[in-house]
C-alpha cells in the first residue's frame, strides 16, 4: 500500500515539477545578469556560489561579458571566471 | 532612444570593420551559415510589421472584448516567435565565444605583436558577434514592445468591463412600442435567412443533411447505449432499493448527468461538424447553429444535473434531503432559469449578426434579467423542508437571504437601467452556482469515500481487493488518500474555473500558480510549495531505499554469509539509522532550506540541548556503544539489576527486555552500559544448575552421595564434561545438606532438568529408605471420603456428565496440543 502510494506521489511530483532556467555562479564575487522578462528589465545579482531559478516562459538575458542571449526557460547558465556558458 | 543610439554605433562599427572581416573570412574558422543574420533580420522585420498592424487593430477594436482577447493571443504568439528567432543564434554565438577564447586576448601595448592572421580573425569574430547582438537586441526590443501592448490590452479590457457594469441605459427609449416593430423586423429578417438556407439545403444538399444527421445520431446512440452497458449498474437509480448508500447515490447522480449530457453534446457537435464537412452551412447560419447547440446543451445539462441531485420521483435517491413537491419545483425553476439565460445568449448572437438596434438588445436583456431575478426570489421563498409536526420550514437563513438579495439586486439594477450589471450578475448566478453545486457534491463524495470501510465497497475497491493482496486496513487508508486527492483536485479544478468566469486571465492564474510553486519571499526566507513537496518526496524515497537496502543486506547477504545474529542486528540498525539521517539531510537540502543558516542556531542551542537532553544523549551514545560492543544480542537471557529476561529489541535510546512472565521492560541503554549486566547466554548457552537436598541425621551419607551422583549422571540432559558433582555442603540445623551441581548444554532447559532430578531423588530415597526431614509447620486435616450416596439415578447422571466433561477436556487438550508446538518452560 505504502509502496504504491510512494510511486504515485513520485509520479505526480515528476509530472508536476516546474521547469525554469537556472543560473549558477561558481565564482566567489557577485555577478549580475540583466533579465528582460515580460516587458521589464531587472538586474539579477548572483552572490558567490548562489543558484537562482528564473524565467519560466522564455526571456532575454544580458550576460556579464555583454552578450545578449535568448532563453526558452529550460537552460542552465553557469558563470565561472566571469564567463557565462549556456548548457 | 538609447537602443537606437546603440544600433547606430554598432552599424558604424560594422562598416569600419567590414574590410577586415572580409580579409579574415578567407581563413576564418567555422563561418556562419550564409545569411543567418540576414534571415533572422528579415523574420524580425516581418514580426515588427505584424505587431504594427495589431497595434492599429487594438485602436480600432477598442470596444470589443472578444477581438481584444484574440489580438492578445496573436501578440503572445508573435512574442514567442521573436524569442525563437533570437534563439537561432545560440550555436553560432557559442562557436564564436569558444574560438575567441582560443585566440586569447589581444596583446597589450608592451608585448610583442601577434601575427596578422590572428588579429584579423579576432576582428572578424568580434564584429560578427556585434552584428548578432544587434539582431538579438532588436528581438528583445520587439518583445518588450509586445509585452507593453499586452498590458495595454489588459487595461483596456478591465476598463471595458467596468464600463459594462456601470453603464446606464435609458429604459424609456428601449421599452417604447418601437421595440415591437424592431423585433418584428428582426424576426422577419431571421425567418428569411433561415428559410432561404433551408430551401437551399433541401434542394441541393438533402442527402448530405440526412447522412450527417444519421451519422451524428448513430454516434450519440453508440455513446449512450455503450455507456449504459458499461455503467448500467451505477447508472440508473433502483427504485426498489430502500436505503442506498450516499456513495451509490452520488455515483448515480454523477453518471446519469455525465453520460446523457455527453451523448447530447456528441450529437450536436457531430451534426455541426458534418454539416460543415458537407458544406451545408452558409453565411451566418453556422454561427446561429453553434449558438443554438450551446443553448440546448446547457439547458439539457442543467436539467439532468438538477434531476439527478433532487430525484423528484425517488425520495430515497435524493442527494439533498428536500421534500418531493419542492424538489419538483426546484427542478422546474432551475431549468427555467437555464432556458432564459440560454435563449438570451442565443438571441444576443442573432442580434449581433443581424445588426439590430441597441434598444432591442436592451429590451431583451431587461426581460431576461427580470425573469432570472423573479426565479431567484421564488427559489428563496420556497419552503423545502418539513418539520416533525408537519409544518413547512424554509431554507437556512443565510441561503435564503443570499438568494433573495441577489434576485432583488438583479431586478433593481435592471429597473434602474444598469442592464449590463444585471445581466452579469444573473449569468454569474447560473454559471458560478452550477460550478459551486458540482464542487459541493464532489466534496460530499470525497467525504463519503473517506469514511471507514466505504472505499472497499466501491467498484475500484472491490477490484483492488480481488486483484491484489491489500488488507482491509490498507484499503481503508487508500480510501482516505483518495478522498484527500479528490478534495485537492476539486480545489485545483474549480478555483481557476470560477476565477476564469469572474474575468481573470489564464495568464494571471498561471503566474500566481507559478509564484506559489517556486517560492514566496518573506524577508530573506523563501517558502516554496514545490521545494517542500520535493523535499518530502526525496525523503520518502530515501527512506524506502534505505529499508529496501537494509532488507536486502540482512536477508540476502548476511543470512547467506552465516553472519552471527548479533552482528546482523547491529549492522542492520546502523545502516537504517545512517540511511534515514542521510535521507533527511538530502530531503532538507532538496526542500531548499539552507543548512548553513541553521548551523549558527544549532551551535548556540547545542549547549542548552546538551544540558537539557543529557539523559537522552547519554542513552543515545550508550545505544551506539551497545551496537558496537555487543555485550548481548536479541534473544539473549540477561539479568540487569532486578530485571531478568530475554532481549527483544535493541533500539537507539532503550532496550526492550521481556521477562519470563511476559512483562516488557524498557531499560534505558545507559543503565545497561553503566551497570553490571549478567548474560546467561553470552558466548554459549552452557550453564550450571544447583539442587539442594537435605537428608536426616543418621543416614548413610556415603550411600546418599552415591545415589545422588548416580541420579545426576543418568539424566540425559546433564553434560558428561564438566562432570556432575555432588557437594556435601553443610551440617544443617535439621538435616545433612547436599547440593547436586550439574552442567547443561542449554541453560534454558534448567527447569526441566531440575524437575526430573527432584522427582528421581524422591523416588530413589523412598526405595532406598533414606529419610528427608521436614519441619512441621501446621496441622492439616486430611479429607474424609464422602458418605455413600443413596440416589442411584442421580449418581448415574452425575457420572455421565462428569465423563462427558472429561472427554471434552481431553479433546480440547488434544486439539491444543495439535495446534500448538509444545514449549519448554521458561527458566526463572
B757-776 burial, b if ≥16 CB within 10 A, otherwise e?
beebbeeebeeeebeeeeee
Instruction: Select the residue of B129, B151, B470 nearest A39 (Cβ to Cβ).
Output: B151
Specify whether the CB–CB gap between A60 and B86 falls below 8 A: yes
**Interface probe, candidates A7, A57, A79, chain B, greatest B C-beta count within 10 A:** A57
- SS3 category, B373: helix
User: Does B402 lie at the interface with A, CB-CB under 8 angstroms?
Assistant: no
Task: Answer yes or no: do A58 and B80 touch at CB < 8 A.
Answer: yes
Please answer yes or no on whether B518 and A18 come within 8 Å at the CB atom.
yes
Q: Which three cell numbers stand for residue B398?
A: 443565510
Give me Rg for the CA atoms of chain A.
Answer: 16
The verdict on a CB contact (< 8 Å) between B147 and A39 is: yes
Q: What is the pLDDT of residue A18?
A: 47
Q: What's the pLDDT score for residue B521? A: 61
Domains of chain A, CATH where assigned = 19-86 (2.60.40)
Query: Is residue A67 less than 8 Å (CB to CB) from chain B?
Result: yes
pLDDT at B374: 92
* Among the partner residues B87, B478, B541, nearest to A1 by beta-carbon distance: B478
- Distance from C-alpha of B90 to C-alpha of B86, rounded to nearest angstrom: 8
Tell me the backbone φ, ψ of residue B695, rounded to 5 degrees.
-120, 160
Joined grid coordinates for residue A12: 505526480
Q: B530 — contact with chain A (CB < 8 Å)?
A: yes
CA distance B531 to chain A (A): 10
**Smallest CA–CA separation between B647 and chain A, in Å?**
30
Q: In this complex, which of B83, B150, B533 lies closest to A58 when CB atoms are compared? A: B83
B605: closest CA of chain A, how far (Å): 27
Candidates B651, B689, B690, B682; CA nearest to B667 is: B651
B591 three-state secondary structure: coil
Termini Cα distance of chain A: 40
Q: Quick one: pLDDT at residue B29? A: 43
Burial class (CB in 10 A: 0-12, 13-18, 19+), B404: middle
- Chain A contact for B141 (CB, 8 A cutoff): no
Tell me, what DSSP letter sits at residue B695?
E
Q: Is A6 on the interface with B (CB under 8 A)?
A: yes
- Measure the CA–CA gap between B449 and B371, rounded to whole angstroms: 40
C-alpha B277/C-alpha B168 separation (Å) is 44
Query: Which three cell numbers, joined as nine digits, stand for B41?
Result: 533580420
Instruction: Give the chain B residue whose CA is nearest to the CA of A50.
Output: B594
Which residue among B87, B147, B477 places its CB closest to the CB of A38? B147
Q: What angle, 0 to 180 degrees and rounded to 10, lies between the N-to-C axes of helices B419-450 and B397-416?
A: 160
Task: Find the closest chain A residue to B88 by CA distance.
Answer: A70
Q: Is the dihedral of CA B502, B505, B509, B515 positive or negative?
A: negative
Q: CB of A47 within 8 Å of any CB in chain B?
A: no
Q: Give the whole-angstrom CA distance, residue B436 versus residue B323.
A: 22
CATH of domain B685-775+802-828: 3.30.70.100
- CB within 8 Å: B514 and A18: yes
How high is the pLDDT of residue B506?
67
Task: Give the bridge partners for B635, in sequence order.
Answer: none
Pairing of strands A76-80, B637-640: unpaired
**Cross-chain Cβ contact B147/A72 below 8 Å:** no
Say if CB B733 and CB B690 are below 8 A apart.
Answer: no
Domain ranges in chain B are 2-107+114-166, 178-376, 530-593, 601-683, 685-775+802-828
Interface test with A, best of B37, B87, B551 (most A CBs within 10 A): B87
Contact B24, B121 (CB under 8 A): yes
Residue A9: closest C-alpha in chain B: B537
CB–CB contact A70 B83 (8 Å): yes
Give yes or no for a contact between B63 and B161, defined as CB atoms under 8 angstroms apart: no
Q: Which three cell numbers stand for residue B318?
A: 435524493
Separation between Cα atoms, residue B100 and residue B29, nearest integer Å: 11
Residue B203's H or E segment, with its range, is helix B178-204
Other beta carbons within 10 Å of B410: 28
- Chain B within 8 Å of A48 (Cβ-Cβ)? no
Which of B93, B481, B514 is the closest to A67 by Cβ?
B93
DSSP string, B344-359: HHHHHHHHHHHT--HH
Which residues of chain B, if any, have pLDDT below 50? 1-3, 5-6, 8, 10-32
pLDDT (0 to 100) of residue B451: 78
Q: Bin A18: left if φ > 0, else alpha if -120 < ψ < 50, else beta.
A: beta
What local confidence, expressed as pLDDT, does residue B690 receive? Answer: 92
Query: What residue in B sits closest to A55 (Cα-Cα)?
Result: B514
| A72–B544 C-beta distance less than 8 A | no
Beta-carbon-side half-sphere exposure of residue A27 (alpha carbons within 13 Å):
17
Q: Please, is A50 exposed, middle or buried when counting C-beta atoms within 10 Å of its C-beta (0-12, 13-18, 19+)?
A: middle
Three-point CA angle B358, B359, B363, nearest 5°: 120
pLDDT of residue B27: 40
Spatial CB neighbours of B534, under 8 Å, sequence gap ≥ 6: A13, A17, B590, B591
Q: Which three cell numbers stand for residue B136?
A: 538579438
Chain A interface, mutation test: which of B92, B99, B133, most A Cβ atoms within 10 Å? B133
Half-sphere exposure of B261 (CA within 13 A, CB side): 20
pLDDT of residue B507: 64
Note whether B488 contacts A: Cβ–Cβ < 8 A. no
Rounded to whole angstroms, how far apart are CA atoms A4 and B728?
70
Beta strand B664-668 with B385-386 is: unpaired
Which residues, listed in sequence order, are joined to residue B695 by a DSSP beta bridge? B736
Q: Which residue has the cell 429597473?
A: B415
Interior angle at CA B177, CA B173 and CA B179, nearest 5: 70
- Of A1, A16, A56, nearest to B514 by CB-CB distance is A56
Q: Give the one of B87, B97, B478 whose C-beta lies nearest to A70's C-beta.
A: B87
Output the pTM of the full model. 0.55
Based on its alpha-carbon atoms, the radius of gyration of chain B, rounded to whole angstroms, reads 47
Per-residue cell: B662: 511476559
What fold does the segment set B601-683 form as a domain? SH3 type barrels. (2.30.30)
Which triple of cell numbers denotes residue B509? 492564474
Nearest to B216 by CA among B269, B151, B289, B177: B269
Which of B80, B105, B140, B488 is the best residue to mutate to test the A interface, defined by the most A CB atoms within 10 Å of its own CB?
B140
State the cell numbers at B303.
436539467
For B469-520, what is the HEC assignment? CCCHHHHHHHHHHHHHHHHHHHHHHHHHHHHHHCCCCHHHHHHHHHHHHHCE
CA triplet B498, B504, B508: central angle to 5 degrees?
A: 115
Half-sphere exposure (Cβ direction) of B622: Cα atoms closer than 13 Å:
19
Amino acid at each position: 500500500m505504502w509502496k504504491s502510494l510512494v510511486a504515485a506521489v513520485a509520479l505526480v511530483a515528476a509530472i508536476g515539477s516546474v521547469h525554469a532556467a537556472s543560473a549558477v555562479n561558481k565564482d566567489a564575487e557577485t555577478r549580475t545578469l540583466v533579465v528582460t522578462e515580460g516587458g521589464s528589465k531587472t538586474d539579477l545579482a548572483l552572490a558567490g556560489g548562489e543558484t537562482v531559478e528564473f524565467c519560466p516562459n522564455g526571456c532575454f538575458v544580458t550576460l556579464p561579458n555583454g552578450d545578449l542571449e535568448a532563453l526558452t526557460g529550460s537552460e542552465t547558465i553557469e558563470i565561472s571566471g566571469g564567463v557565462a556558458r549556456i548548457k | 532612444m538609447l537602443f537606437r543610439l546603440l544600433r547606430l554605433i554598432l552599424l558604424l562599427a560594422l562598416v569600419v570593420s567590414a574590410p577586415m572581416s572580409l580579409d579574415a573570412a578567407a581563413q576564418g574558422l567555422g563561418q556562419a551559415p550564409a545569411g543567418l543574420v540576414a534571415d533572422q533580420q528579415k523574420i524580425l522585420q516581418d514580426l515588427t510589421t505584424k505587431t504594427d498592424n495589431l497595434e492599429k487593430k487594438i485602436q480600432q477594436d477598442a470596444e470589443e472584448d472578444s477581438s481584444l482577447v484574440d489580438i492578445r493571443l496573436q501578440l503572445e504568439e508573435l512574442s514567442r516567435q521573436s524569442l525563437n528567432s533570437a534563439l537561432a543564434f545560440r550555436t553560432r554565438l557559442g562557436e564564436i565565444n569558444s574560438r575567441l577564447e582560443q585566440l586569447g586576448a589581444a596583446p597589450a601595448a608592451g608585448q610583442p605583436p601577434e601575427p596578422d592572421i590572428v588579429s584579423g580573425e579576432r576582428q572578424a569574430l568580434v564584429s560578427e558577434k556585434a552584428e548578432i547582438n544587434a539582431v538579438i537586441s532588436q528581438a528583445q526590443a520587439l518583445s518588450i514592445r509586445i509585452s507593453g501592448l499586452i498590458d495595454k490590452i489588459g487595461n483596456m479590457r478591465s476598463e471595458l468591463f467596468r464600463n459594462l457594469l456601470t453603464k446606464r441605459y435609458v429604459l424609456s427609449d428601449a421599452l417604447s412600442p418601437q421595440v415591437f416593430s424592431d423585433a418584428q423586423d428582426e424576426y422577419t429578417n431571421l425567418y428569411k435567412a433561415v428559410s432561404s438556407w433551408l430551401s437551399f439545403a433541401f434542394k441541393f444538399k438533402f442527402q448530405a443533411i440526412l447522412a450527417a444527421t444519421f451519422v451524428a445520431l448513430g454516434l450519440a446512440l453508440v455513446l449512450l447505449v455503450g455507456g449504459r452497458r458499461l455503467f448500467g449498474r451505477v447508472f440508473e437509480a433502483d427504485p426498489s432499493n430502500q436505503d442506498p448508500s450516499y456513495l451509490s447515490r452520488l455515483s448515480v447522480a454523477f453518471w446519469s448527468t455525465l453520460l446523457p449530457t455527453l451523448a447530447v453534446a456528441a450529437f450536436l457537435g457531430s451534426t455541426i461538424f458534418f454539416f460543415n464537412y458537407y458544406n451545408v452551412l452558409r453565411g451566418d447560419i453556422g454561427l446561429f447553429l453553434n449558438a443554438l447547440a450551446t443553448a440546448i446543451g446547457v439547458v439539457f445539462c442543467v436539467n439532468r444535473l438538477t434531476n439527478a441531485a433532487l430525484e423528484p420521483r425517488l425520495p430515497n435517491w435524493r442527494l439533498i434531503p428536500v421534500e418531493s413537491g419542492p424538489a419538483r419545483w426546484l427542478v422546474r425553476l432551475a431549468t427555467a432559469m437555464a432556458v432564459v439565460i440560454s435563449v438570451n445568449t442565443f438571441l444576443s448572437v442573432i442580434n449581433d449578426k443581424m445588426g439590430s438596434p441597441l434598444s432591442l438588445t436592451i429590451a431583451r436583456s431587461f426581460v431576461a434579467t427580470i425573469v432570472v431575478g423573479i426565479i431567484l426570489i421564488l427559489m428563496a421563498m420556497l419552503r423545502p423542508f418539513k418539520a416533525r409536526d408537519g409544518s413547512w420550514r424554509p431554507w437556512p437563513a443565510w441561503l435564503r437571504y443570499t438568494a433573495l438579495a441577489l434576485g432583488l439586486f438583479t431586478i433593481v439594477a435592471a429597473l434602474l437601467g444598469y442592464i449590463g450589471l444585471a445581466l452579469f450578475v444573473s449569468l454569474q448566478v447560473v454559471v458560478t452556482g452550477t460550478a459551486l453545486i458540482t464542487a459541493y457534491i464532489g466534496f460530499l463524495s470525497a467525504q463519503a469515500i473517506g469514511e471507514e470501510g466505504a472505499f472497499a465497497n466501491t467498484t475500484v475497491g472491490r477490484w483492488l481487493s480481488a486483484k491484489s493482496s491489500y488488507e482491509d486496513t490498507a484499503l481503508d487508508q487508500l480510501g482516505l488518500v483518495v478522498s484527500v486527492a479528490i478534495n485537492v483536485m476539486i480545489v485545483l479544478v474549480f478555483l481557476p474555473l470560477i476565477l476564469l468566469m469572474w474575468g481573470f486571465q489564464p495568464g494571471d492564474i498561471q503566474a500566481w500558480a507559478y509564484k506559489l510553486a517556486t517560492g514566496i519571499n518573506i524577508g530573506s526566507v523563501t517558502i516554496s510549495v514545490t521545494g517542500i513537496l520535493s523535499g518530502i518526496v526525496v525523503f520518502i524515497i530515501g527512506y524506502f531505499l534505505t529499508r529496501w537496502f537494509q532488507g536486502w543486506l540482512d536477508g540476502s547477504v548476511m543470512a547467506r554469509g552465516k553472519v552471527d545474529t548479533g552482528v546482523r542486528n547491529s549492522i542492520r540498525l546502523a545502516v537504517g539509522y545512517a540511511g534515514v539521517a542521510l535521507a533527511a539531510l538530502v530531503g532538507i537540502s532538496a526542500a531548499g532550506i539552507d543548512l548553513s543558516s541553521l548551523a549558527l542556531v544549532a551551535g548556540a542551542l547545542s549547549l542548552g540541548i546538551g544540558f537539557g537532553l543529557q539523559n537522552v544523549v547519554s542513552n543515545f551514545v550508550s545505544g551506539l556503544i551497545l551496537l558496537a560492543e555487543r555485550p548481548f544480542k536479541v534473544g539473549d537471557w540477561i539479568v540487569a539489576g532486578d530485571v531478568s529476561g530475554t532481549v527483544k529489541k535493541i533500539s537507539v535510546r532503550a532496550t526492550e527486555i521481556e521477562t519470563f512472565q511476559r512483562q516488557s521492560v524498557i531499560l534505558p541503554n545507559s543503565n545497561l552500559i553503566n551497570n553490571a549486566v549478567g548474560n546467561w547466554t553470552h558466548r554459549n548457552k552452557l550453564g550450571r544448575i544447583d539442587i539442594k537436598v537435605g537428608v536426616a541425621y543418621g543416614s548413610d551419607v556415603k550411600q546418599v552421595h552415591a545415589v545422588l551422583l548416580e541420579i545426576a549422571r543418568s539424566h540425559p540432559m546433564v553434560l558428561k564434561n564438566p562432570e556432575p558433582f555432588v557437594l556435601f555442603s553443610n551440617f544443617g540445623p535439621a538435616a545433612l545438606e547436599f547440593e547436586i551441581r550439574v552442567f547443561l548444554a542449554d541453560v534454558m532447559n534448567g527447569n526441566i532438568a531440575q524437575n526430573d532430578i527432584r522427582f528421581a531423588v524422591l523416588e530413589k530415597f523412598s526405595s532406598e529408605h533414606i529419610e528427608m526431614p521436614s519441619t512441621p509447620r501446621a496441622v492439616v486435616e486430611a479429607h474424609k471420603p464422602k458418605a455413600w450416596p443413596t440416589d442411584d439415578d442421580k449418581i448415574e447422571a452425575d457420572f455421565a456428565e462428569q465423563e462427558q466433561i472429561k472427554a471434552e477436556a481431553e479433546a480440547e487438550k488434544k486439539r491444543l496440543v495439535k495446534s500448538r508446538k509444545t514449549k519448554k518452560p521458561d527458566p526463572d
